[in-house]
Amino acid sequence: MNIRSSIIPAFIASLTALVLMPQAHAFTIIYSHDFSGGTGALNGTPVDVGTANWVASDLFRQNGTINPGPGSATLAFTPQDGNLYSLDATLTGVTGAGNDWIALGFANGQSLDTNTASRFITGQVIGTSWMLFRGSNNGNFAFRGLGSGSNGGTTDGQQWVGPLANEGGGDVDLRILLDTTGGPGTWTATWLAKRPTDADYTVVRPATAMLTESMNSVGLAIANPGISGGIQSFSLSIVPEPSTGLLLALAGLGLLGRRRR
C-alpha cells in the first residue's frame, strides 16, 4: 500500500481547513451587519459594528430584502498591506432566471443609483476581487477584474470549481480571502462558498494573483430585474497570523514526506 498517496490527500484537506477557516473569535472585525432593521432603504444606515454608512441603491432594504433590479450596496474600505482579510456574506432565498445574480466583493467606487453602471461590471462601481451567485443553474463565477473595456469588472472571470459550480438559487454563504501579507505587488484572492448543510467552506477558485491592488469599497451587487432574495449577514474581518495548530500541521506534512513511499 502506498502510505503517502493514501494519507496525504486527507491531510492536505485538513490543512486547507486550518488555513482557510480560522476561528471567528480570533478575527479583528472591521465591519459587521446583521440586517435586523425595518423595511426602509439601506442607504445611509450605519453598520452594526464599525464606523461607516451604507451607500446603496434603493433596491437594498434595512431588513436585508433585495428587490429586483441592477445596483449595489457598498461600504468605504481601502485594504492595507500586511493583512489577510475575510469578506463574508450569507444570502437567503436567492431566486432568478438565466443570468440573474447576486454578488459579493471588493470594488472601486460607490453609488446609490439603480442602474447597470453600479453592479461591479463597469461604470461607477467596478468589482476587483468578487464572486457572483446566480438564482438559477446557469453557472457561478469568480473575478479579479478592473480591466479595461466595457466590462472591465469581469476581467479574468472563471467559473467556480466543485459541486457548486452550476448550482444556483436558495441559501448560500460566500467568502473572499484577500491576502496582502506579502506587500505591494503580491496580493492574492481566494474564493469560497458553502450551503447551510455543508460542514465546511469549499474553495471555488483557488488563490490567484490580483490584477490590481487599487480598491476602495466592499459590498454587494445585483445584476438584473429578475433577481431577488435576502442578505442575512455581512462582515469584513482581519484574520490573524497562522496558529500553533497550523504550524504543527505543516510540521506533520514534513514528517509525512519522510515516510516510506
Based on the fold, state whether residues 164 and 141 are members of the same structural domain. Answer: yes
Residue 237 CA from chain centroid, whole number: 12
pLDDT at residue 242, as a whole number = 57
For the chain, how big is the Rg over CA atoms in Å? 19
pLDDT at residue 146, as a whole number = 82
Based on the fold, state whether residues 37 and 121 are members of the same structural domain. Answer: yes
Based on the fold, state whether residues 6 and 53 are members of the same structural domain. Answer: no
Based on the fold, state whether residues 201 and 248 are members of the same structural domain. Answer: no
Based on the fold, state whether residues 186 and 247 are members of the same structural domain. Answer: no
Alpha helices in the chain (DSSP H): 3-20, 244-257
Whether residue 105 contacts residue 120, with contact meaning beta carbons closer than 8 Å, is answered with yes
pLDDT at residue 150, as a whole number = 74
Phi first, then psi, for residue 42 (nearest 5°) are: -70, -30
Domain membership of residue 207 as a residue range:
26-239
Based on the fold, state whether residues 100 and 214 are members of the same structural domain. Answer: yes
Based on the fold, state whether residues 168 and 256 are members of the same structural domain. Answer: no
pLDDT at residue 237, as a whole number = 97
Average pLDDT, 10 consecutive residues per value, the chain (261 residues): 42 44 64 95 97 96 93 97 97 91 96 89 93 94 84 89 94 98 96 96 96 96 88 95 45 35 31
pLDDT at residue 86, as a whole number = 97
Parallel/antiparallel/unpaired status of strands 101-108 and 170-179: unpaired
Based on the fold, state whether residues 97 and 178 are members of the same structural domain. Answer: yes
Whether residue 31 contacts residue 104, with contact meaning beta carbons closer than 8 Å, is answered with no
Based on the fold, state whether residues 68 and 132 are members of the same structural domain. Answer: yes
Based on the fold, state whether residues 15 and 142 are members of the same structural domain. Answer: no
Based on the fold, state whether residues 75 and 114 are members of the same structural domain. Answer: yes
State how many domains the chain has. Answer: 2
